Amino acid sequence: MIVTVVSMPEMAVARTDVAEARDRLATEPFLLVDVELPEEQRTEPGSVAEQLGLDIEGLEWFGTADEPARAEYLGDRAGFVVPVVRGERFTHVHVVVTDRFLATVHRGRIDLARTVTEMAHERPVDTVAVLFLLLGEALGTFRRAAVQALLEAEELEDDMFEERSPDQVYRLAQLRRHSARLHHYLRPFLEVTDEVLTRRLMSRSFPKERQRLVREFQTSSRLVLADIESLQEATRRAFASYSSLIAGEQNGVINRLAIVSVVFLPLSFLTGFFGMNFTFLTDKLESRGEFWLLAVGLQALVLCISLYVLHRTRIWRRLREDD
């Protein structure tokens, strides 16, 4: 367990142990405590809060593994389970906020303390402002992941028109799955958060500054969700483009086979016909001239007629344009 404490508004970051963090939570008026747990560690409900000396009645899920997205308001405190993207990995950050402190628990490294200190220019005036900074950073991880994947999908679609390969389809499938996971993790969180925040906006006692923070967060969340939906649409479009290009190539192959059939099927018919051993051929066609006239001459005539028909129907021109 790694515990990081950030004193605000000074933005003083310090690594400490659980005991010191518990003492500072009990005495200091404006504090952020970030707890990093090993990814494989599983904790009992309430154990992390008990070690930190927190009273989280109604938020017993705080610090437990495999919790879904949450947003709960309990009067003097609120709790959130916030999804965060790190490359191809998704994790959840558990957040409890009161008027005096903001405590977070997550598995694996996320560097929340560094994120807060980098946002020192925002000058958060209270724990609620810090909360919305963290929520905004969580949205930012989804936005960056969606934009990066969107650009890659567009590059793959451009490359398809130059040269196609199975690797492009495989990568597009990965991007499509990634977009689905982004949507799967973010959409439930936005729904539960929007429900809680909308109820708070309807309260006349809710301060105007916090109303502004809520509206900014809701606007940002809609934009991020739109980016993810754009990524999903881009992957679908890229798959459709790949399928269209392959279908065009297959149509070209079928057209060439049709041309070959038009040329050689009549020849095959004439060859088979004159290869039959019936009375007219055996009794009447005895000279070499008759053979060349009927056998080869008819085949040449059929071939010329076939080529003329192909030329008149402009099939040759369409094939050249496809190439």
Return mean pLDDT, the chain: 79
Query: Per the structure block, which two tokens stand in for 167?
Result: 């690797």
Map tokens 């890229």 to a residue: 238
Query: Per the structure block, which two tokens stand in for 124?
Result: 């958060």
The whole-angstrom separation of Cα 130 and Cα 9 is: 10
Residue 153 has pLDDT above 70, yes or no: yes
Q: Report, as an integer, the average pLDDT of 297-321.
A: 68
User: Would you say 105 and 37 are in contact if contact means Cβ atoms under 8 Å apart?
Assistant: yes
The whole-angstrom separation of Cα 112 and Cα 116 is: 6
Dihedral sign of CA atoms 140, 70, 175, 227 in order: negative
pLDDT at 223: 93
Cis, peptide link before residue 68, omega less than 30° from 0: no
SS3 call for 162: coil
Map tokens 């290869």 to a residue: 275
End-to-end alpha carbon distance in the chain: 63
pLDDT at 112: 67
pLDDT: which is higher, 46 or 19: 19
Residue 172 has pLDDT above 90, yes or no: no
The whole-angstrom separation of Cα 111 and Cα 121 is: 18
- Confidence category of residue 261, pLDDT binned at 50, 70, 90: confident
pLDDT at 121: 59
pLDDT at 315: 58
Map tokens 């916030």 to a residue: 82
- Confidence category of residue 291, pLDDT binned at 50, 70, 90: low
Percentage above 70 pLDDT, the chain: 81
pLDDT at 143: 92
pLDDT, tens only, 223-256: 999 999 998 888 888 877 777 777 766 777 777 7
pLDDT at 253: 74
Residue 173 has pLDDT above 60, yes or no: yes
| 299 phi and psi angles, rounded to 5 deg | -65, -45
Residue 59 has pLDDT above 70, yes or no: yes
pLDDT, tens only, 96-141: 888 888 888 888 777 766 666 666 556 677 888 888 888 888 898 8
Residue 319 has pLDDT above 60, yes or no: no
SS3 call for 111: coil
Which element (helix H / strand E) includes 65?
A: none
Closest C-alpha to 149, from 92, 88, 90: 88
pLDDT at 104: 86
Contacts 24+ apart (CB under 8 A), 290-298: 295/270, 298/270
User: Would you say 116 and 135 are in contact if contact means Cβ atoms under 8 Å apart?
Assistant: no
pLDDT, tens only, 184-223: 999 999 999 888 888 877 777 777 888 888 888 889 999 9
| 107 phi and psi angles, rounded to 5 deg | -110, 130
